[in-house]
């Protein structure tokens, strides 16, 4: 691949270096965020794990970027929602999100979500995504929500206050917040799915 094409699709050495560096920084932040077994029940942690794999994978094998549009889109969606929900719902009330170090919190909730989204905007997949991919992207959040609510009573733990029925409003309040977050997923997911196709690309869709 020549330098012009590599620059166009973000597979040149500068992009590979930046993605690799970002992947390492996220990995270090995750390592420093580790606390106990509940660590793995935060959506932030799970989405950042995916982002680490994605960025390091792109750095090691740049052509992977052009073959995994659906996976990239999913991680972009999860990370963007992670950053937005933190900024809108959690940061204003200084919610306990299981992260004590300020720099770790900044990386996982701000730097990484912004970087993943910018990467998608600057270097979208070369081909449009399947029309039904958004519904596939919602499977993971649906499983996460189900596990969180089923596990919550026995573990006496809910990772986020808007998912905690023990607070005022009970499950009715949780249902309202869940609906609002679902709308956010649908809105951002629709944009993420549309972005690669915004130029009317005539190539067939690729997963």
Q: What pLDDT band is residue 179 in, cutting at 50, 70 and 90?
A: very high
| Residue 100 pLDDT | 72
Q: What is the C-alpha separation between 28 and 104, in angstroms, rounded?
A: 8
Lowest mean pLDDT among 1-5, 20-24, 102-106: 1-5
pLDDT in tens, 10-64: 777 888 899 999 999 999 999 998 876 688 899 999 999 999 999 998 888 877 7
Distance of CA 29 to the CA centre of its chain: 15
pLDDT in tens, 66-101: 677 899 999 999 999 999 999 999 888 787 777 778
Q: Is the pLDDT of residue 127 over 90?
A: no
The answer to whether 76 touches 120, Cβ cutoff 8 Å, is yes
For residues 129-157, average pLDDT: 95
Contacts 24+ apart (CB under 8 A), 117-124: 117/76, 117/79, 117/80, 117/83, 119/10, 119/19, 119/76, 120/72, 120/73, 120/76, 120/192, 120/195, 121/195, 122/10, 123/9, 123/10, 123/15, 123/65, 124/195, 124/196
């Amino acid at each position: 691949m020549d330098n012009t094409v590599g620059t166009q699709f973000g597979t040149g050495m500068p992009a590979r270096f930046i993605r690799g560096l970002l992947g390492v920084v996220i990995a270090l932040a995750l390592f420093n965020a580790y606390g106990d077994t509940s660590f793995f029940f935060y959506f932030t942690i799970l989405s950042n794990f995916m982002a680490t794999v994605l960025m390091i994978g792109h750095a090691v094998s740049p052509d992977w970027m052009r073959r995994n549009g659906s996976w990239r889109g999913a991680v972009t969606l999860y990370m963007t929602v992670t950053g937005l929900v933190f900024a809108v719902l959690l940061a204003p009330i200084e919610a306990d999100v299981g992260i004590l170090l300020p720099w770790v919190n900044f990386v996982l909730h701000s730097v990484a979500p912004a970087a993943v989204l910018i990467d998608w905007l600057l270097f979208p997949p070369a081909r449009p995504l399947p029309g039904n991919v958004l519904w596939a992207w919602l499977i993971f959040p649906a499983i996460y929500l189900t596990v969180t609510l089923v596990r919550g009573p026995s573990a006496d733990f809910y990772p986020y206050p808007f998912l905690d029925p023990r607070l005022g409003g009970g499950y009715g309040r949780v249902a309202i917040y869940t609906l609002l977050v679902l709308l956010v997923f649908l809105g951002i997911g629709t944009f993420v799915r549309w972005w690669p196709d915004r130029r009317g690309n005539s190539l067939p869709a690729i997963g």
